[in-house]
Structure 1
Amino acid sequence: MKYPIYPITFSYVSGIFCGFYLKLPDIAVVSVTVLSFVTLFSLYILQRNKGFNNKLNLFTILAVFVTFSSLGFLSYIFNNKPIIIDDLNAKEFTIKVTDVLKSNAYSHRMYANLLSQKDQPKVLVTFSNKLDIPKVGTVYKLVGTIKKVAEPRNLYDFNYSEYLRLRNIHYQITSYHEPFKIKEEKSFQSIIISGRDYLTAQFSKLGYSEKTQGFIQALLFGIKTNLNDEIQQQFKDFGILHVLAVSGMHVVLLFSTISYVLRKLRLSKNVITVILIVFLLIFSLMAGFSGSVVRAALMCLMTIVGTLTGRRIHTINLLVGSMLLILLFEPNYLFDVGFQLSYLAVFSIVFCYRVIQHYFTFKNWILNYFGQLIGVSLVAQLGVLPLSIYYFKQIPLLFLIGNIIAIPITSFLLCAWFIQMVLSLISVEVLALITPILSWISTFCFDSLSRLSDYFSIKTIDFHFGILQTILALLMVFTIFWFFQKKKLYKVYVFLSIVILFQLITLQNVIENKRKEEIVVMSDADNVVILNKVGSKINQIGNANKYTLQSLKNYELHTNSKVKTIDSIQNSFVLKGKTWLVIDSLEVYPKQKFDYVVLYQNPKINLDRLMHDVQPKMILLHNANYQYLNEEYSAYFKKRKIPYHDMRTKGSYVIDYNSGNN
């Protein structure tokens, strides 16, 4: 093939996906990998010695696919070895902070290495926020509890445990006490972060407000720990949250700015190349090696290498090559949302924009700039839209307005703040003179978005795609642009086939959801909330708190159903011919048989008498109960082999009447 990087990358990515979804013996995968490598090498020798042979094409393609698929499979397996901590009853831990997350109102949050464990696995840690925000490299001794990261509490909630597992984090330590600081260890990572903190601290010397400093830190280095919640919500409403995450756009802007300045200083080509390479490496380190930054940095490096070696540079080749290089070192990047959206957006621009570029090209440079901005924003948004719907369950309506306002302003501010930060190392007083101007520009951006946000009452449309619908929707988008690149009749047939398949899958989902009947006892920290779903209608019993309301919204989107009635919770009621009893803190209940019993609000009752009087088929331990009480009840039911469901540890309880399973 002319570009073998394409089938190699496709095969490797397929192998990573197979490793994620399939569980196969390591020895079997290793055997297949070795055998396929030997076969591929033999075919290569045979082709080289006897000349190109069309008859061996199919075998060569199969050998390439199997070889690199199995290599991707092995890469995923070896990067995701299961981590098991035997002593989950330990109370004292020694940790070393590796990443600091955004603190909440109650505690500091961070990733840390568990030094008191032999393999020093990475864990999620939360402890009291009475101390200063922890720093990377700090070693603490703390008292708390350790457990596996909890699964989602309700159906279709964000799976935080899966998110952490792909970062090789399986356990979390919780402490409600102040930790004891042992020492601060210096490492390459802590030195880089210290340098980043020193640079961001320059902006406090330059006279910026805390609100603006948080915005600067997010824009320059992707640090969101100090970002104002109101600003973040504004950018989210307009579908431009990517502007606040250090992305490829930021890297390219700074790369181009530095390159332009260095050329104007008439430095030699070799010196410029070295400075640009050093900048890309340091900036990637300071941005925490986020997927989009690494992608852009690698593409810039490849462009430099291609220019120096006199090779032709194809953006698609750079895109695919950078993806392969990243995934060779860190296959879990493939499941990072930012990584996926970044590559998909760039691919959309490269593949689709040239088809419509002439519609957004003008002779006037101002009109041309905004025309190009609108055109690029449209194709990028259209390309990532199916994936955005899949992950975020929303269609942003104001993204175009947001891009027109935010991108020009933030692009200018990004370059201006970067130059101001670097030059302030020479003279803070002189550079502080332009602070009022840049502050006014940033405030103008916030105020403009705020006023527009208030003007539009509807900013997003809630929507949901399944994984197959997402893939087919992406194929539909790119097939349309593929057709207009070079119009052929067979492309129309391909597009129609994808549309029909998409409609069939959507129709199947609608039919399944209409037939589905189930009862869901939702995990709510305050109230008993029960959903009785019959087809597309839901009867809700009990009022949900604000957190469970979001889970309820997710449930409605995924099942294509709506809450039609909301009834108050009673102590006893009948659903689907089954009797239910809710025993609360009053501890009053009738002496008759019930199918399901919910223990709620810490009832301290005689369990032997309850079992004798009520004879339930299933006991539900509500998560509003104290933890120690649920543990006591669980021990009792487990010992006597009585069916029970602890909602504190297992989340919501589902009765599926279509399959008869709970």
Structure 2
Amino acid sequence: MKGYPFVRYVAGLGAGIILYTLLPNGYAVPLLAFAVGVCLFVWGFAQDAGNSIKPIRIGQGMGALLILLGLGWAITYQRTASNRPDNILTLADTLQAYEGVVATQPEERAKTYRVELELRRGKWGLSSVSKSWQPLSGRVIVYLDKASQTSPQTMPSVAQPRYGEVWLVSGSPRPIDPPLNPGEFNYKRYLSYRNIYHQQYLRPFQRKVMGYEPPNQLTRLATVVNRWADSVFTHQVGTRAEYGIVNAMILGVRDDLDTELYRSYSTAGAVHILSVSGLHVGILFLVLTWILHILAPNQENKVWVAVVKLAILWFYALVTGMSPPVLRSAGMFSILILAKALGRQQQLANTLGASAFFILCFDPYALFSAGFQLSNLAVAGIGAWQSPLYQTINLRNRWVNKLWEATAVALVAQLITFPLGVFYFHQFPTYFLLANPVVMILSFLLLPVAMATLAFSWVPYVNEVLGWVLAKTAWLLNQAVMWVGQLPGAAWDGLWLSPMAMCLTYAVILGVVALLLTRDRSYLWATCLVALLLASVISWDNFSQQNQRRLAVHFLPHRTAISVTDGQSSTLLTDLDTTDSRSFDFYLKNTFGQWGVTKLTVADARSTAPAHIRNYHKTSDYALWVWQGQTLLVVNKLGNKSPWRLPAVVDFLIIRRNALREWDQLSGRVVARHIIFDDSNKTPLTDKLLAEAKQRRITCYSVRQMGAYVTELN
């Protein structure tokens, strides 16, 4: 660590950022750390004031780390928008209208435009003072309906919003929902790291464009360049599949990707190539360095070479619309380029630490981004381990040797990132060694060809040739990935690592690598001990899953989803359309993955006799399901024209599709120990019934307001 000061700086700053997330109101702890750090640092200087040679003092180093810890806490506090007194999150009254500016490049969806609005002022409350416009800050995600309501016959499309438009919006945004199912992706926390806490669905008549005032001219330029690049690719690349992959890799827009094609990339372990990131900047940097070495040999340290590299890298950043991952990587490679031009010694670990340090100073919440963590881990692992692995095999054939070099990079990157990848994405690509070298080689061709297509888009014939090469390269990339993705067992899906298991997995990996590099037997015993602990944790989790027995009424927007789980087998009763795999993946897939379910049987709740369900009786009004001594009554209708009744007490009464409108409808019909409303009921009706239930002292549960109902059965 002695030669890598920025690695230490990042450690101190990162500790302060984590401290803020744990103690956002604990002002005393960072202040005390900062004060102690200053004292230790000054005391270290005072001790060596008369010495010409300054020795290294542990106390002084600890003081610097404590200072950085306090600064990390303070920077995170300052960068958290909810700490501002005028933030929308602090409003006690309902917002009636607000003014905001489009703060990022809008994204086009199938039926809406997704827009981030930076708030300026708002109107709320009933008093004469509060009715006037007041300063307001914060960001809101707005989904603007594409269809205009002014002309129902023709339904003309709404023009795509532009960065910098000033909107006057009526209505009040609502807070973003927390995850309502076990294991569901925490979209609320993800957006809170970007200081976004609210969202709103807008009809076109609910907003009015008041003007055009881009808050940042560089971002405005980036959006213009991004749209121009999109128009070039639209003209030069023909079919949708090839255009989609070029759009994703160069512009960062994945809306044009076919669902099956995206799934193939995910299965093959090549989905990272579809998001503009540091990998793309690295490829462009390496190709650019190689080309300049051929065109201008022995000129690598010249200033003009550095200027050319910086210009092309930052032009690519403009093309991507100033994507945050690209900005992070462009910053890191800019440090490398400037260090080489100035003749400074380059150390990858220190450069990576410097890049991460400045990124966290600007955006402390990047520390919790999966992209930030994975990209830094991959670069650090490749820099530390790729060369020793590559040197273990000496191949004489030049091209085979190049292939082995690319394979070594893929192996190291996959090794260092797979525990974190499994923790976030719950799958592991089985054939990554087949896909990644091919993907890397074709990416080394596709990226520079795409940039050349943009650069020569104004030259007749040349632009057509480059566009044809670009389309064929994209086609070849798609075909290779789809072939790997269709192999049997291409993805090891349904994996789940707890935070402890992930940390222990990394400890085993680091121990094995240290043993191979140093041949020190102490690492062998330490690795065996950690591996034994990891096996114990996984075995206990597996034992718990094999003995679990539970009932769950899941949250599924406007749908019914009821599951019973016995061991690692589950039966799901739902009215979700079988073609809607996206809703299942987002809301339910992680739940069954977290529970270790290996066998999931899906039954249609609309069927009179769903397959694979025993002891199930259904009528048009209700369905009665007896499972292992527990009675589940699913009610569809409680009308007066069908006065059915059940003489016995049921364990679980599940109300769906607005069947219950008044509590008196249950009198004399059914007695239940537990009453649950699923999300197929209208929210206002459920709210009314919950309020009445509180007055009547009736215990009931709503998955919309309280999240999925999960109960362990003995």
Judged with a 3 Å threshold, the aligned counterparts in structure 2 of structure 1 residues 586 and 8 are, in CA distance, closer, same or farther, namely: same
2:137 partner SS: coil
**Greater mean deviation of Cα atoms: 29-38 or 588-597:** 588-597
Match of 2:248 in 1: 218
Q: Distance in 1 between matches of 2:261 and 2:143?
A: 25
Partner in structure 1 of residue 209 of structure 2: 181
Quote the offset at 1:96 in angstroms.
2.5
Q: Deviations over 1:567-595 (max 9, x none)?
A: 35764456687655433224444366555
Query: What is the CA–CA distance in structure 2 between the aligned matches of 1:361 and 1:237, rounded to whole Å?
Result: 32
CA-to-partner distance for each residue in 1:292-321, whole Å, 9 max, x for gaps?
Answer: 423432332222332244332111111122
The Cα shift of 1:386 comes to 0.7
- Structure 1 pair 272–326 and aligned structure 2 pair: CA distance change class (3 A): same
Residue deviations 1:25-71, cap 9 Å, x none? 34313422431332232233134236699999554454344333333
SS in structure 2 at match of 1:518: strand
Which sits farther off after the overlay, 181-190 or 52-61?
Answer: 52-61
| Partner of residue 252 from structure 1, selected from 282, 287, 306 | 282
Flag the 1:615–1:439 CA change in 2: closer, same or farther, 3 A: closer
Question: Equivalent residue for 2:398?
Answer: 365
Change (3 A) 1:430 1:533: closer
- Given candidates 231, 241, 250, the residue that maps to 1:201 is 231
Amino acid at match of 2:12: S
Deviations 1:584-608 (A, max 9, x none): 2244443665554322111144313
Whole-angstrom CA distance in 2 between matches of 1:471 and 1:643: 41
Structure 1 657/12 Cα, relative in aligned 2: closer, same or farther at 3 Å?
farther
- Counterpart residue number, 1:38: 38
Gap change, CA 1:466 and 1:53, over 3 Å in 2: farther
Cα distance, 1:526 vs. partner?
6.0
What amino acid maps onto 2:252 in structure 1? Answer: G
Counterpart-to-counterpart distance in 1, 2:56 and 2:470: 64
Report if aligned partners of 1:96, 1:115 keep a CA contact under 8 Å in 2: yes
Kindly report which structure 2 residues correspond to 1:565-576, keeping only aligned pairs within 5 A, or say none. 567=613, 568=616, 571-572=623-624
TM-score, structure 1 as length reference: 0.89
CA distance in 2, matches of 1:364, 1:584: 71
1:343, distance to aligned residue in structure 2 (A):
0.8
**What's the offset of the Cα at 1:121?**
1.1
CA contact (8 A) 1:597 1:616 kept: yes
Q: 1:102-501 counterparts in 2 under 5 A?
A: 102-117=107-122, 118-130=135-147, 131-143=158-170, 146-177=173-204, 179-186=207-214, 187-188=216-217, 189-206=219-236, 208-259=238-289, 261=291, 264=295, 269-290=302-323, 292-425=325-458, 427-456=459-488, 458-501=490-533
Distance 1:458 1:276, change over 3 A: closer
Alpha carbons 1:598, 1:621 under 8 Å: kept: yes
- Tell me how far apart the structure 2 counterparts of residues 535 and 41 of structure 1 sit (CA, whole Å): 57
Counterpart amino acid of residue 11 in structure 1: G
Deviation track 1:554-576 (CA, whole Å, cap 9, x = no partner) reads 23322224457753576445668
Query: Do the aligned partners of 1:136 and 1:190 also contact (CA within 8 Å) in 2?
Result: yes
After superposition, the Cα gap between the structure-2 partners of 1:483 and 1:293, relative to the gap in structure 1 and judged at 3 Å, is farther
Question: Within 5 A, what are the aligned runs for 1:573-584?
Answer: 580-584=632-636
Secondary structure of the equivalent of 1:99?
A: coil
Separation in 1, partners of 2:23, 2:375: 29
- The more displaced of 386-395 and 96-105 is 96-105
Mark the CA change 1:492 to 1:624 in structure 2 (over 3 Å): closer, same or farther.
same
CA distance in 1, matches of 2:564, 2:286: 58
The answer to whether 1:556 aligns with 2:573 is: no
Write the letter of the residue equivalent to 1:169. I
CA distance in 2, matches of 1:99, 1:589: 57
Aligned counterpart, 1:10: 11
Q: Distance in 1 between matches of 2:19 and 2:543?
A: 29
Deviations 1:311-344 (A, max 9, x none): 3211111112211121121111111111111111
Shift of 1:79: 2.1
The 1:228/1:514 distance shift into structure 2, 3 A limit, reads closer
Structure 1 pair 632/354, CA: closer, same or farther in 2 (3 Å)? same
Q: For the aligned residues, what is the CA RMSD? A: 3.3
* Whole-angstrom distance in 2 between the partners of 1:569 and 1:11: 62
Question: What amino acid is aligned across from residue 346 of structure 1 in structure 2?
Answer: V
Q: 3-state SS of the aligned residue for 1:182?
A: strand
Tell me, in whole angstroms, the C-alpha distance in 2 between the residues paired with 1:528 and 1:207. 43
CA distance in 1, matches of 2:545, 2:47: 54
Indicate if the aligned counterparts of 2:38 and 2:63 stay in contact, CA closer than 8 A.
no
Q: Identify which of 696, 700, 709 aligns with 1:644.
A: 700
Give the drift of 1:468: 1.3
CA distance in 2, matches of 1:288, 1:87: 36
CA positional deviation for 1:534: 4.6
User: Structure 2: where are the runs of 5+ without partners?
Assistant: 123-134, 148-157, 602-611
The alpha-carbon deviation at position 78 of structure 1 amounts to: 2.8
Note if 1:63 corresponds to 2:95: no
- Note if contact 1:524-1:545 (Cα within 8 Å) is conserved in structure 2: no
**Structure 1 residues 94, 616: closer, same or farther in 2, change over 3 A?**
farther
Deviates more, 1:334-343 or 1:548-557: 548-557
Equivalents in 2 of 1:304, 1:134: separation in Å?
37
Q: CA, structure 1 residues 410+132, in 2 after alignment: closer, same or farther (shift >3 Å)?
A: farther
SS in structure 2 at match of 1:310: coil
1:527 and 1:545 in contact (8 A); partners too: no
Q: 8 Å contact 1:537–1:564 — kept in the other structure?
A: yes
Matched-pair contact (CA < 8 Å) for 2:653–2:676 = yes
Question: Percent identity at matched positions?
Answer: 21
Residues 474, 207 of structure 1: CA spacing in aligned structure 2 closer, same or farther, 3 A cutoff? closer
After TM superposition, give the deviation of residue 173 of structure 1 in Å.
0.6
Structure 1: distance between partners of 2:454 and 2:56? 59
Q: Any idea what the Cα deviations from partners look like across 1:372-401, whole Å, max 9, x if unmatched?
A: 111111111111111111111001112222
Match of 1:97 in 2: 102
Q: Deviations over 1:75-104 (max 9, x none)?
A: 333322435153674464444222346544
In the TM superposition, what is the alpha-carbon distance from 1:418 to its structure 2 partner?
A: 0.6
Distance 1:75 1:506, change over 3 A: farther
Q: Which amino acid aligns with 1:8?
A: Y
Change (3 A) 1:144 1:14: same
Long gaps (5+) in structure 1: none
Contact 2:675 2:699 in 1 (8 A): yes
DSSP-derived class of the 2:634 partner: strand
SS class of match (1:111): strand
For the residue of structure 1 that corresponds to 2:590, the secondary structure is helix
> For residues 109-153 of structure 1, what are the alpha-carbon distances to aligned partners after superposition, in whole Å with 9 as ceiling and x for unaligned?
222223443333111111212323322222334455521111223
CA distance in 2, matches of 1:421, 1:54: 54
Moved more, 266-275 or 47-56: 47-56
Distance 2:375 2:173 in 1: 35
The residue type paired with residue 164 of structure 1 is L
Give the partner amino acid of 2:138. Answer: P
Q: Which amino acid aligns with 1:396?
A: P
Q: Which amino acid aligns with 1:501?
A: L
Matched, 1:602 2:658: yes
Distance (Å, rounded) in 2 between the aligned partners of 1:35 and 1:239: 48
Between stretches 505-514 and 387-396, larger displacement belongs to: 505-514
In the superposition, relative to structure 1, how do residues 256 and 351 fare at CA in structure 2: closer, same or farther (>3 Å)? closer
Higher deviation after alignment, 472-481 or 579-588: 579-588
Relative distance call for 1:475 and 1:90 in structure 2 (3 A) is same
The one-letter code sitting in structure 2 at the alignment partner of 1:559 is W
Specify which structure has the higher proportion of helix.
1
| Alpha-carbon distance, 1:18 to partner | 3.0
What is the TM-score when the length of structure 2 is the normalising length? 0.83
